[in-house]
Amino acid sequence: MGLLSKKDSKLITDPLADNNPITIQVLGICSALAITAQLKPSIVMAISVVFVLGVGNVVISLMRNIIPSKIRIIVQLVVVATLVIIVDQVLKAFAYSLSKELSVFIGLIITNCIIMGRFEAFALGNGPWKSFLDGIGNAAGYGLILIIVGFFRELLGSGTLFGFKVLGDSVEKTGLYAIGYENNGFMVLPPMALIVVGIIIWVQRSKNKELIEEN
């Protein structure tokens, strides 16, 4: 990549795999469980977090030298809250049904530990360009897991992808359903999201033994 130096591109690629916010740092689990029953909300959530974290990181980074450290958490909260409300309003205006489906979870991006975590750990100590890349990278790492989980949960739980009946019609018994296949109702329930995330963590760690924690 000519655009990014090696160090910069690592800021984006690291959180996608070896330092993934969900599977390695185990942050932002609540929303990963709540909205991944279908693929579409997972993707919308991923994009929203990419926007909030990317822009938020830049804003915090620009202000990092003028924020008094005693009130920095409040300043960070104001920044996140502003961005989240923008996302919420945009969704309400242009994708009302989706925003209904995601309900409080868009608002709850404010409490997503990944965002405050990156503000604290990165944006307060680095320049705007690096902070932007770090924000995009971490949010993308989060979104990637959301999309993987959403894919499996929608496919196995409802037999659809983006609402398309890829496995056939479960009521009229076409496609796979004609030979006795049935949707796995467990996949739609939140506990299964936890198990799917667990399996991803398992697969990742057995591929890269360095990631296994000592206990």
Partner 1 sequence: MGLKENLHKLKKKYEGKKMAPAFNALHTFLYLPNETTHSGSHVRAADDLKRTMNTVIVALVPCLLFGMFNAGYQHYAAIDETLRAAPLENFFTMDNFLMGCLTILPLVIVSYGVGLAVEFLFAVIKGHEVEEGYLVTGMLVPLIVPVDIPLWMLAVAVIFGVVIGKEVFGGTGMNILNPALTIRAFLFFAYPTWMSGDKVWVHGAVERSKEIAGGANLDAISGETILGSYAQNQEVMYSLQDMFFGFIPGSVGETSKLLIIIGALFLIFTKVGSWRIILSTLVGALVMGLIFNGVVDAGWIENTSKFYGLMSLPFWEHLLVGGLLFGAVYMATDPVTASQTNKGKWIYGFLIGFISIMIRVFNPAYPEGVFLAILLMNVFAPTIDHYVLQGNIKRRQKRLKVKTA
Interface residues with partner 1 (CB under 8 A) are: 180-182, 184-187, 189, 195, 198, 202
Find out whether 103 and 92 touch, Cβ atoms under 8 Å: no
- Minimum gap (Å) between residue 184 Cβ and partner 1: 4
What's the one-letter identity of residue 182?
E
Q: In whole angstroms, what is the distance from residue 12 CA to residue 8 CA?
A: 7
- Minimum gap (Å) between residue 201 Cβ and partner 1: 10
What's the one-letter identity of residue 195?
I
- The number of CA neighbours under 13 Å toward the Cβ of 110 is 18
Cβ nearer to partner 1, comparing 19 with 184? 184
Cβ nearer to partner 1, comparing 22 with 52? 22
CA pseudo-torsion sign 31, 37, 40, 43 = positive
- Minimum gap (Å) between residue 93 Cβ and partner 1: 38
Cα separations in angstroms, 78 against 36, 69, 139: 27, 15, 19
Q: In whole angstroms, what is the distance from residue 171 CA to residue 26 CA?
A: 38
Cβ nearer to partner 1, comparing 164 with 202? 202
Cβ nearer to partner 1, comparing 7 with 209? 209
- Minimum gap (Å) between residue 185 Cβ and partner 1: 5
